[in-house]
Amino acid sequence: MTTRIDARFAELAKQGRSAFVTFLMAGDPDPKTSLNILRALPKAGADIIEIGMPFTDPMADGPSIQAAGLRALKAGMTLKKTLEMVRGFRKDDNATPLVLMGYYNPIYIYGVDKFLNDAKTAGVDGLIIVDLPPEEDTELCIPAMKAGLNFIRLATPTTDDKRLPAVLANTSGFVYYVSITGITGSASADSTAVGEAVARIKRHTKLPVCVGFGIRTPDAARAIAENANGAVVGTALVDALRASLDSEGRATPKTVGAVADLVSALAQGVRGAKQAAE
Amino acid sequence: MNPNLPNSFRTGPDERGHFGIFGGRFVAETLMPLILELEKAYADAKADPAFQAEMNGYLKTYVGRPSPLYFAERLTEHLGGAKIYFKREELNHTGSHKVNNVLGQIMVARRMGKKRIIAETGAGQHGVATATLCARFGLECVVYMGAVDVERQQPNVIRMEMLGAKVVPVQSGARTLKDAMNDALRDWVTNVHNTFYCIGTVAGPHPYPMMVRDFQSVIGDETRKQMQEAEGRLPDSLVACIGGGSNAMGLFHPFLDDPSVEIFGVEAAGHGLTQLHAASIAGGRPGVLHGNRTYLLMDEDGQIQDAHSISAGLDYPGIGPEHSWLHETGRVNYLSATDEEALAAFQLLTRLEGIPPALEPAHAIAKVMELAPKRPRDHLMVVNLSGRGDKDIPQITEILKGRKK
């Protein structure tokens, strides 16, 4: 099975560089602005895009992404509308990989089979579901693989060599290495430790390894990109979005540009990386 | 007979932590190795007679167990039906049943060499019990408590701080128990290496629902023995309030395979089931939150709804997964009581028996007031008086003062 994700990594390997993976929360600060941001991301330098599915109780997320989810929910965002947003994006872009990221309950309530079918049809390529470890693979991971969607697993500093094979067993697309123990947007990652961790994971898999959590600046993005197949940035972009809102939390004419500008700067960091890890 | 009924209601969960479709381990990968480590540590402790002996020693001399089974003579006369007994968990050290579970978990934490304990709390009873045992064993203690609950349960906040715990007011979401649990999980994900998460109820990822139930089952085990001594037989019915459901599970579990025993759990109906409430079984459906699949209050998009109850300890949009299973199998009947009914029950019990119950078990008493009169005088009904009302007196005083005006 070759998805847009596999194709994108193959293409980047030819160019000899790492991927820049960006995150945005679907519907933040409102569905229309959010779609406009999504459309602006590939041009600004995003190679792969993670789209957050808002949830009331995001237990692995820090204050910035919690607030982004709540802004989206307040603006009427739902899982159905998130899939509509993907369809809207796919009208003009059939190459950039889109990965939905979030928590299981909204999918469970939507109905697993219906969700997988609707997501695939809309143009989703992969899923990252924070609260579904390998122990719960029968819930969504295996049905997703059968439906032709990548199920991208998180590996963390607590995932030791003994556990890694179980974590990697049903993973496809890429492996998302969470570089710190903690919630999104907290500590920053140490690139040396990250390099060692990526090397450790690569002893167990041929999949690309992307690294996230704690990357905020072009320099940090470059340092990570030198040690991994991709750098993921989320909280810094969500913070830039928030800083562009008016006092009521509504979008302003600056909002789309604020996110796109930071994405451009970070993308240059990633593209300035000396040598992608092999 | 329902062909799907199990031979025994007491064998769950399975090795993956499931009670039927409920339970499980829905947590972030960062926590998964810790949960597996805890599962193993608990299994070792459970099989170790020295652990059991040490725990029984503390239960006796530090907690003050066994708690008495008390015949509530005046309430029985007043209601004119079933003979009502109280299981006096409110007489435990720290004022509620919560200490039974905390003692067990702290002893497991000590075996695992963990020096930092975190907990979530609603009414503050679990926080107080955790702060107390951390003081006793010289452990660092951090308690997450919704900012709304910090306001309405001031006496417990002061007490936790005096015991040396750090109380963190949680400002996210509805700022009650659900949000406190989110922040406790966020702390745990961050401080995995030295921290033990002491969950206060029969919820969360496996093995918590099973482990907390086991530690609370001392309530039902004692009740069985004490009723035998008092009346020479089993009780005919059991009644307990349910937020997450630990006091109820502790009372119910030892009786689940006695078909003659009718069992009633009482959820918090808040302003009423058609308005804001906290009755997950009456008003919710199965979903996934806080590490387990269980009945939850949520909207059609799967977003979790804010619960409401006058009682901070019941103000939670979910329920322990084993309760969800006992509901679906029909073994336990789940009822609900409103804020108003609980308040009336609080006042009645205080005046009739000289026992101010916490607002949580006041919900159970409210249903006893309906159930007992419909039963014969030789019917033996046990209600779990899971906590004392001292902590609620400032809040109740405010409410009653407001009404006089």
pLDDT digits (tens, 9 = 90+) for A162-221: 999 999 999 999 999 998 888 888 777 788 889 999 999 999 999 999 999 889 999 999
The DSSP 8-state label assigned to residue A112 in this structure reads H
Average pLDDT over residues A246-260: 97
Please name every residue paired with B87 in a beta bridge, in sequence order, or none if there are none.
B69, B384
- The confidence score (pLDDT) of residue B380 equals 98
CB contact under 8 A, A110 and B302: yes
Instruction: Give the separation between CA B100 and CA B97, rounded to whole angstroms.
Output: 6
Cα distance between residue A6 and residue B384, in whole Å: 59
Q: Which residues of A touch B (CB under 8 A)?
A: 54-60, 62-63, 66, 73, 78-80, 103-110, 130-136, 153-160, 163, 167, 178, 181-183, 186
ipTM of the complex model? 0.95
Cβ of A158 within 8 Å of Cβ of B29? The answer is: yes
The answer, yes or no, to whether residue A278 has pLDDT greater than 70, is: no
Kindly determine whether residue B33 and residue A163, on different chains, have CB atoms separated by under 8 Å. Answer: yes
What pLDDT sits at residue A188? Answer: 73
Coil, strand, or helix at residue A128?
A: strand
Whole-Å CA distances, B161 to B86, B118, B129, B138: 31, 14, 12, 15
Alpha carbons B86 and B382: distance in angstroms, whole number: 6
The Cα diameter of chain B in Å comes to 60
Determine, for residues B33 and A159 on separate chains, whether the beta-carbon distance falls below 8 Å.
yes
DSSP labels, B329-347: HTSSEEEEEEHHHHHHHHH
Instruction: Kindly list the residues from chain A whose CB atom is less than 8 angstroms away from the CB atom of residue B298.
Output: 105, 109
Q: What is the mean pLDDT of residues A137-160?
A: 96
Out of A56, A66, A178, the one facing B303 most closely (by C-beta) is A56
- Residue B306 DSSP class: P
Residue of B nearest to A74 (CA): B303
Q: What pLDDT, on the 0 to 100 scale, is given for residue B354?
A: 98
Nearest to B138 by CA among B119, B168, B117, B124: B117
Q: Are A23 and A101 in contact (CB under 8 A)?
A: yes
Nearest CA in chain A to B37: A158
Listed in order, strand segments (DSSP E) in A16-55 are 19-25, 48-52
Q: Give alpha helix (H) positions in B195-308.
A: 208-216, 218-231, 246-252, 280-283
Instruction: Report the chain B residue with the minimal C-alpha distance to residue A80.
Output: B301
CA distance A192 to A199: 11
Contact B29 A57 (CB under 8 A): no
Contacts of A74 (CB under 8 A, 6+ apart): none
pLDDT the model gives residue B4 = 66
Task: Return residues 4-63 of B near A (CB < 8 Å).
Answer: 16, 24-34
Distance from CA of B63 to the nearest CA of A (A): 33
Compute the distance between CA of residue B370 and CA of residue B348 in angstroms, rounded to an integer: 13
In chain A, residues with a C-beta closer than 8 Å to the C-beta of B27 are: 131, 133
Q: Do A60 and A183 meet the contact criterion of CB atoms below 8 Å apart?
A: yes
Which amino acid makes up residue A139?
E
Residue A153 C-alpha, separation from nearest chain B C-alpha, in angstroms: 9
Low-confidence ranges of chain B (pLDDT < 70): 1-4, 405
**What was the pLDDT predicted at A249?**
93
Q: Cα–chain-centroid distance for residue A27?
A: 15
Answer whether A57 sits within 8 Å of B302, measured CB to CB: no
User: Contact, A72 vs A28, CB < 8 A?
Assistant: yes
- Contact: B301, A131; criterion CB under 8 Å: no
Residue of chain A whose alpha carbon sits nearest to that of B289: A105
Measured between CA atoms, the residue of chain B closest to residue A55 is B303
**Inter-chain residue contact B178 with A158, CB threshold 8 Å:** no
Mean pLDDT of A132-142: 97
User: What crossing angle do the helices spanning B208-216 and B321-329 adopt, rounded to 10°?
Assistant: 80
pLDDT level of residue A277 (50, 70, 90 thresholds): very low
Residue in A closest to B171 by C-alpha: A63
Supply the pLDDT for residue B1.
Answer: 46
Whether B70 and B88 have beta carbons less than 8 Å apart is answered as: yes
Q: How high is the pLDDT of residue A185?
A: 81
Percent of chain A with pLDDT over 90: 90
B24/A105 Cβ within 8 A: no
Q: Which residues of B touch A105 (CB under 8 A)?
A: 287-289, 296, 298, 302, 304
Hey, which residues 186-245 in chain B have their CB within 8 Å of chain A? 186, 189-193
Expressed in percent and rounded to 5, the helix, strand and coil fractions of chain B are 45, 20, 35
Q: What is the pLDDT of residue A127?
A: 98
d(CA B396, CA B356): 11
Q: Which of A105, A132, A135 sits opposite B302 (nearest CB)?
A: A105
One-letter amino acid of B362? A
Residue B171, chain A, CB below 8 Å: the answer is: no
DSSP string, A128-152: EETT--GGGTTTTHHHHHHTT-EEP
Active site residues of A: 50, 61
pLDDT tier, A2 (very low <50, low <70, confident <90, very high otherwise): low
pLDDT value of residue B405: 63
Q: Known catalytic residue: B386?
A: yes
